[in-house]
Amino acid sequence: MSRIAVIDYGMGNLHSVAKALEHVNPDVEVLVTADPQKVRDADRVLLPGVGAIRDCMAEIRRLGVDAEVAEAIRSGKPFLGICVGFQALMDFSEENGGVDCLGEFSGRVNFFGNELRDADDQVLKVPHMGWNQVRHAKAHPLWQGIEDNSRFYFVHSYYVKLAQTEQVAGTCEYGVPFDVALAHKNVFAVQFHPEKSQQAGLQLLQNFLSWDGCA
């Protein structure tokens, strides 16, 4: 039986993610855990996250989750980051006056701004909340069975811009273009919430459970 560790650092929709994984494949074992040994023993690792990045990073470092994440990424096992779990992998976030993140990938997390407008000069609300289309920037096993420009569910006020364009797997636009999916070796990470994104999101989670960690 495949075992998935959903890293628990007290900041995320842990049980909704776990239930969604169990829904798409009842034969997997999903462990919501902060136990380093259980994370190491898992076949796949998922880093969720919601809330302010300052609080998330404080708990990640206090609990030693930073070391768990680094070890999981370097192990080569499939790794999925969701929402703040994606942002936390970057170098730096503008949120909360500026916060250093894990630095696993070169990138910056930027604020959408208070005067965000669309192409018709209409004011856009921040946070970006609701459904939006995601464009596939490159082919990847986690996009299998998901049409380009499918809609996914977002809740965020800050967005990622990756420094390495070859790592961008998906993009979106909300006043500004931004990166919503990262793919590099055994790591895939997304800004949207697949567990809230109905069929497309469930398909992505199903793809993660069958992915061998190779692009």
In tens, the pLDDT along 43-98 reads: 999 999 888 999 999 999 999 999 999 999 999 999 999 999 999 999 999 999 99
Residue 197 has a pLDDT of 97
CA distance to 9, 97, 157, per residue, from 79 (Å) = 16, 29, 24
Whole-number Å distance between alpha carbons of 92 and 105: 10
Tens digits of per-residue pLDDT, 84-120? 999 999 999 999 999 999 999 999 999 999 889 988 8
User: How, if at all, do strands 79-82 and 187-190 pair?
Assistant: parallel
Active site residues: 83, 193, 195
pLDDT exceeds cutoff 80 at 12? no
Confidence (pTM): 0.96
CA distances for 173 relative to 26, 152, 200, 203, angstroms: 35, 12, 18, 22
- In whole angstroms, what is the distance from residue 7 CA to residue 97 CA? 26
Q: Compute the mean pLDDT over every residue in the chain, rounded to the nearest whole number.
A: 95
